[in-house]
Structure 1
Amino acid sequence: MDSRKRVNKTHSIPQVIVIGTSAGGLLALKKLINQLQEDFPAPMLVVQHISPDANGNVLLDALNSLGKLKCEHAISGGIIKPGHLYLAPSDHHLMIDRDQTMLVTKGAAENRSRPGIDPLFRSAAVAFRNKVVGIILTGYLDDGVAGLEVIKRCGGICIVQDPEDAEYPDMPKNALAHVEVDHCLPISEMGGLLYQLMSRKLGKLKSIPKDIQIEAKIAQRVLSDLPSVNALGDQVPFNCPGCGGVLWKVSDSWPIRYRCHTGHAYTESSLLAEQTMKIEETMWTALRMFEERKNLLTTMAREHGGATAKSALERAELSGVHIDRIKAILKSNDKGTSKDLPG
């Protein structure tokens, strides 16, 4: 079957569901999928934050053991089918291409995550517009908030897990704070709602805002050109912690977001968390170098006499002062909170 015929098959997809979750996601997804049947009339695409060296098989095995939807890893170019759940592979973004097939790429991390929730939600909104249902479940920080807002702007439906029901309520709370969601409810009630939404009458299609189109293209092609990023906002006086490049503040974005020209993207909180981590890495490197310097100077003082030994000891003592200061900084409480940790 040629590619044109395969692509046309995807046009029969009535709606698509995209889900983003982080810490606590395994249990939440199991509770949700267990409410659905094999013939569920829409495909589900899921981003679960996992470490780069994980393979996601534990999650897939747990979901497949329920005997409900067919759950599998997403494959670039694959056709999305009703009754199937597609999980983003570790260390790769999962997106929906304009021809409504899956796109799996190793693009720049967004909100410190790859896979990231925002790239999936944004691409789904561009490809399906008002046929998208976006769901934010349990997790840390605020990945998925900007993507959920894009779904809303393109006419889709936004669902957020009730924070009181979430094992880790940060992501649901941030979504509720920044997006006018359509539904906020516990996991136990989501299955019935999804069946209701699958039979809803779709309204008139909305045009896709230009800024959403630009950001979708940036994520899909990995490297963007400066005119594209310039169209999104203005440069700011700090750099991308991911690549060292210049950052742009995305105009009219809430929560406030930043992008670099290579594709890294951050909300304020994720940018602060990444800066905190980079600072700590730098401090540990500085500590090691000062300790090595002190050891060398102490050795020189033992092996030399006179003025050379005296100078080496003085410099070793000064290195010791710097070592104590760095240790005090590393031991302080000003290194962020649990909310700065990746989900």
Structure 2
Amino acid sequence: MSTRARSAVPPTVVVGASAGGVEALRDLALGLPEDLPAAVLVVLHVPAAGTSVLPAILARAGRLPARHARDGDVLEAGTILVAPPDRHLVVIDGRVSLTRGPQENGHRPAVDVLFRSAARSHGARVHGLVLSGALDDGAAGAVAVTQRGGRCLVQDPQEALYDSMPRAAAAAAGLGDGGALSVRDMPAALLSWLGDLPPPEGPDQVSELMQKETAMADLDPGALQDPVPPGNPAGFGCPDCAGSLFEIDEGRLRRYRCRVGHAWSPESLLARQTVGMESALWMALRSLEEKVALTDELAERAAGQGHPETARRFGTRSREARKAAELVRDLIADIDSGESRPEEFSA
């Protein structure tokens, strides 16, 4: 992009939220002034098949117009663009792109995709806000923004309905105590920052990893077919495609990505593994209960036909299956439901 074209692109505020985020987003919209000199882009984790009414909620709550982003929209100051369900919101220079790229942390749209692509495109003229949400989504995005010279804030964990996302983002990006604010105080902080922005930059160096990850979200075949993996072998499998995961070490943050772009934070990977394990246990329990029913029926039939030895053998198998089924039921009951949070995943 030319220097003249860059100067026409407004500063960008990227906002990410998940569980409990609607209330926080509404409070944020309420405090943003109608002459805000920045474009606002929002990702709220929603189910892929759901219907989002978030733009209407934000438009009613505040003074800025809000709508779902459309592919190719130009960034405009004083406008809120919301990622639609099942589409990543990607920033490319002064426009947005909607893609069905690989999910990140089980989500599409994903907070990290938006933050990373905006940081890659606009550098220090990006401000990131991480609001209420479970697990550690947004941490990688906050790191990307700060790596490129942008600034981040997180919702005060004491205020957030779900404090995991703000805490994880603050820790990963090294924000310190001053990086957490009440949502109602964020607009004033943003206006102060927007009054002290660096001029638009010319072409600059973006890390190869950030370039590659942003391209993956945009389903770029060059990135997906690159023989060089995005990190070092982690020894884990990807829950979405069963491919090998590679570990990406960013100092305070370690995360995982497979060759085709599915990305996982540690907590999200653990949560999805817990969901998968519970599903496998239920299948095992179903097989064992069916085995109990079948061996009981066969034992009864053999006894009725005057074959006591065969009936005894089937009875032994039934008791063994019952014992195994009891163990599996105990394992299912012992799974910490707070870890799995299946509602946190869009698929």
Alignment TM-score, normalising by the size of structure 1: 0.90
Q: Does 1:54 align with 2:50?
A: yes
How far did residue 286 of structure 1 move? Answer: 0.8
Q: Does 1:135 align with 2:133?
A: no
CA distance in 2, matches of 1:241, 1:186: 35
Q: Does 1:218 align with 2:220?
A: no
Q: Does 1:183 align with 2:179?
A: yes
CA distance in 1, matches of 2:241, 2:290: 28
Give the aligned partner of residue 148 of structure 1.
142
Structure 2 counterparts to residues 1-343 of structure 1, below 5 A: 12-57=8-53, 59-97=54-92, 99-181=93-175, 183-202=179-198, 205=201, 207-221=205-219, 224-225=223-224, 227=226, 229-230=228-229, 232-304=230-302, 305=305, 306=307, 307-332=309-334, 335-336=335-336, 338=338, 340-341=340-341, 343=344
How far did residue 256 of structure 1 move? Answer: 1.0
Which secondary structure does the structure 1 equivalent of 2:236 belong to? strand
Q: CA offsets per residue over residues 305-343 of structure 1, 9 Å max, x none?
A: 3143332222122111111010010111xx245254254
CA distance in 2, matches of 1:107, 1:186: 33
How far did residue 203 of structure 1 move? Answer: 5.9
Which secondary structure does the structure 1 equivalent of 2:103 belong to? coil
Q: Which amino acid in the other structure matches residue 84 of structure 1?
A: T
Question: Number of residues paired by the alignment?
Answer: 332
Of 22-31 and 196-205, more deviation after overlay is shown by 196-205
Check 1:48–1:10 CA distance in 2 against 1; reply closer, same or farther (3 A cut).
farther
Q: Which amino acid in the other structure matches residue 83 of structure 2?
A: A
RMSD: 2.2
CA distance in 1, matches of 2:20, 2:111: 15
How far did residue 222 of structure 1 move? Answer: 6.3
CA distance in 1, matches of 2:157, 2:338: 17
Which secondary structure does the structure 2 equivalent of 1:164 belong to? coil
Q: Which amino acid in the other structure matches residue 317 of structure 1?
A: R
Q: Which amino acid in the other structure matches residue 96 of structure 1?
A: V
Q: Which amino acid in the other structure matches residue 46 of structure 2?
A: I
Q: CA offsets per residue over residues 21-46 of structure 1, 9 Å max, x none?
A: 11111111111111123332211111
CA distance in 2, matches of 1:330, 1:222: 41
8 Å CA contact 1:11–1:100 kept in 2: the answer is no
CA distance in 2, matches of 1:73, 1:163: 28
How far did residue 279 of structure 1 move? Answer: 0.3
8 Å CA contact 1:140–1:339 kept in 2: the answer is no
How far did residue 90 of structure 1 move? Answer: 1.6
CA distance in 2, matches of 1:201, 1:115: 28
**Structure 2 segments unaligned to the other structure (5+ residues):** none
Alignment TM-score, normalising by the size of structure 2: 0.89
Identity of aligned residues (%): 33
Q: Which amino acid in the other structure matches residue 72 of structure 1?
A: R
Which secondary structure does the structure 1 equivalent of 2:245 belong to? strand
Of 209-218 and 220-229, more deviation after overlay is shown by 220-229
CA distance in 1, matches of 2:150, 2:192: 15
How far did residue 10 of structure 1 move? Answer: 7.8
